[in-house]
Amino acid sequence: MAALKKVYLLLIPGLLLLQCCGIYSLGGAKVPDAMKTVTVQFFENNAPLVIPALSQQFTEALKARIRDQSRLSIVRTDGDAIFEGRITDYNIKPTGVGSNDIAGQVRVTITVAVKYTNSLDETQSFEESFSAFKDVSIQTQTLESQQSSIITDVNKQLTENIFNRAFANW
């Protein structure tokens, strides 16, 4: 029992020291102390299949992810980091057959081309595409009636991947 107390007495100060250093978080993001602001430009929808509100929803989802998972302030222009890009694809493909040989399940995929510029450390900048998808049943509800929740779920995956790539080097 006494040995266990000694381990805790040594472990707790070490954990507190790591936590107070400022650049590490439980989510794995490492936002440099010098980075204070970020600019998220509007992501235009250039996909062949255009969903009218998708650009706004994705852009706002990325801003929300940054607000929720970092201490960065979002500014309109000239941030220490800048996210820009465009939605390049919105794709619906059947993945399962239902009754009467009609698609019973579909996969909705969204692809976004992202350019991330880190003005404090250019080696952290990148330009790449990110894709995420959701499989949904269309046997009891139409795709259109589920579209809002599908986009929300896929945007959550996309913004997590983009955020992690920018701030956790994934």
Contacts of residue 14, defined as CB under 8 A and 6 or more positions apart, other chains included, come to none
Q: Which two tokens stand for residue 93?
A: 């493909």
C-alpha span between 40 and 64 (Å, rounded): 11
pLDDT recorded at residue 139: 84
pLDDT for 120: 95
pLDDT value at residue 1: 54
Residue 33: DSSP 8-state = T
What 8-state DSSP symbol labels residue 169?
A: -
Q: How far apart are CA 120 and CA 122, in angstroms?
A: 6
For the chain, which domains are there? 33-167 (3.30.160.150)
| For residue 102, pLDDT beyond 80 | no
pTM, two decimals, is 0.80
The three-class DSSP label of residue 133 is: strand
Rounded average pLDDT over 156-165: 97
Q: What pLDDT is recorded for position 170?
A: 59
Coil, strand or helix at 96: strand
- Residue 43 in this model has a pLDDT that exceeds 50: yes
Q: Collapse the DSSP code of 162 into the 3-class scheme (helix H, G, I; strand E, B; otherwise coil) and give the result.
A: helix
